[in-house]
Structure 1
Amino acid sequence: MAITWRDEERCRSVDTPSVLVLATSSFWSAGWLVSWIPEAGLRADYVRPFRGDPIPSPLTYAGLVILAGATPVYADSDAPWQPGARSLVASAVEAGIPTLGICYGAQLIAAACGGHVSTMPDGPEIGLLPVRLSAAAARDPLLAATTAISPAVLWHHDEVTRLPAGGVLLASTSACAHQAFRIGESAWGLQFHPEATISCVRQWARAYAHDIWAMGSTPEDVVSAVRRGSGHLLSTWRPVIDRFLSIVIRRTGMDTPVVARTA
């Protein structure tokens, strides 16, 4: 299923509570979130600072989602909008606005709140890999119902190497200690990609073919593995996103939170 930025624009509505979606690259799209957010009864307001969009205050939004991106969070010279994005995230976390960061978004949350991000010393994690949940995940509002070891789509060269003070580790892989974490009561970082569609993965595999070959695999093998696991991926990670959106909805005072789906 191909999902485009035009699809995202069509999901706007003026009558429903809104989630601010911070998109930091034209390459890394919102994937399944394009449909999942409006299906939850929320409006997605996309802001693209890499195109010159001003970064708004988060205080008028019911929730904040930060998508994957291409620029390292420590490379402000390549992305002069990043200090404003860090300020946005820090303000949202301080205000208790439900916040979800995916891949780059998770790294941005960590950096904005006092953590540390750097390049992975042994190279990137790419493809369908097992994610192991921590003991703390069993008490987490998003991950408590998730199987202790679950497959996820990973695609990153950088990683969070130190969580902010008070951060709660929720998941790891063998190569990356901080695959999921929570800051405070309402901000989550997911280094993996719950939003990834097959179309997304196919595009990523073409663009990062050199990295995949260097890992001893092929782009076709990576895409095929994700396709074979797509049903399990949806049944595992869509409920996690739905639980986040339910938290956003409860904050608005709406009567009917979204019900987590299994597919």
Structure 2
Amino acid sequence: MAHTTETLVVQHTPGGGPGRWGAWLAEGGLDLRVVRPYAGEPLPDRLEHAALLVLGGAYLPDDDARAPWLATARGLVRDALDREIPMVGICLGGQMLATVAGGAVQPEYGEPEFGSTRLTLRAEAADDPLFHGLPAHPPAIENHVDAIVRLPEGARWLARSERCPYQAFRVGTAAWGVQFHPESSPERIALWSAERLERHGVDREELRRRAAADEAALTEVWREVALRFAALARNRG
């Protein structure tokens, strides 16, 4: 692969863009190519990029009937794994990584998680290229009802929460999946569907206030992870 700093970003929904990670990856020296297949923009069949970022969305990883581009997105995840191209999968993207690598996801499984949530790093995070040296209990913004129920064989399990065990993991040397939204912000919570949250007994404004109280820690931790990922992608590009 020719040297490049371009990162392919797969955006599944109109409101699900790269958010703060777009600015942080750019700060780390990566150029972003955001593709919006829901709007008819075609995904490539093969990665010719320094890295891959697969974002979240209100689908299961194999929900091809509603989102026919997911098959191509899964192929890109497989390509990243096979060629050790650095990738991060966020929420749906993390679930996609889990299933492509042999794990399993269940719809509406366990207790939903919304808003700023306390994570617990596992011992395996201590020497991980992205998660080493982070606070033991960093906050992260959650917005999911589906969940990973089995990690791929050989995956490194990096973080958990009280309600959802598989919050972060790594497959191979350079593919990470997270259930939470490191790209999100308190301001973005204000754009979430109030009706959807109310169905789960959650108040959107209260979620935003709690996330705002954690804003300094959210920014410090997930900016550092984004910059580490950008450095990894640059060095392998």
Q: Structure 1, residues 66-104: CA drift from partner, whole Å, max 9, x if none?
A: 111122213221111111111110011110000001111
1:249 aligns with 2:237: no
Match of 1:256 in 2: none
Q: Distance in 2 between matches of 1:208 and 1:145?
A: 36
Query: RCO greater where, 1 or 2, for CA within 8 Å and sep 6 or more?
Result: 2
User: What is the letter of the counterpart of residue 224 of structure 2?
Assistant: P
Cα distance, 1:18 vs structure 2: 0.2
Correspondence list, 1:156-235, <5 A? 156-204=144-192, 206=194, 208-212=196-200, 214=201, 217-235=202-220
Q: Residue 120 and residue 171 in structure 1: after superposition, are their counterparts in 2 closer, same or farther (change >3 A)?
A: farther
Q: Distance in 2 between matches of 1:87 and 1:37?
A: 23
Q: Distance in 2 between matches of 1:199 and 1:52?
A: 28
Q: Secondary structure at the match of 1:20?
A: strand
Q: Structure 1, residues 26-78: CA drift from partner, whole Å, max 9, x if none?
A: 12121102211222221100112222222214431000001111222132211
User: What is the letter of the counterpart of residue 224 of structure 1?
Assistant: R
User: What is the letter of the counterpart of residue 42 of structure 2?
Assistant: P
User: What is the letter of the counterpart of residue 178 of structure 1?
Assistant: Y
Of 195-204 and 50-59, deviating more is 50-59
Q: Structure 1, residues 96-131: CA drift from partner, whole Å, max 9, x if none?
A: 000001111101111122211112433411111110
Percent of residue pairs identical = 36
- Contact 1:167/1:182 (8 A) holds in 2: yes
Q: Secondary structure at the match of 2:170?
A: strand
Tell me which stretches of 4 or more aligned residues in structure 1 moved more than 6 Å.
none
Q: Secondary structure at the match of 1:200?
A: helix
User: What is the letter of the counterpart of residue 243 of structure 1?
Assistant: R
5+ residue gaps, structure 1, are 1-14, 253-263
**Matched pairs, number:** 235
Cα distance, 1:185 vs structure 2: 0.3
TM-score (norm 1): 0.85
1:103 aligns with 2:88: no
User: What is the letter of the counterpart of residue 223 of structure 2?
Assistant: R
Q: Distance in 2 between matches of 1:198 and 1:127?
A: 8
Match of 2:31 in 1: 43
User: What is the letter of the counterpart of residue 30 of structure 2?
Assistant: L
Root-mean-square deviation (CA, aligned residues, Å) is 1.7
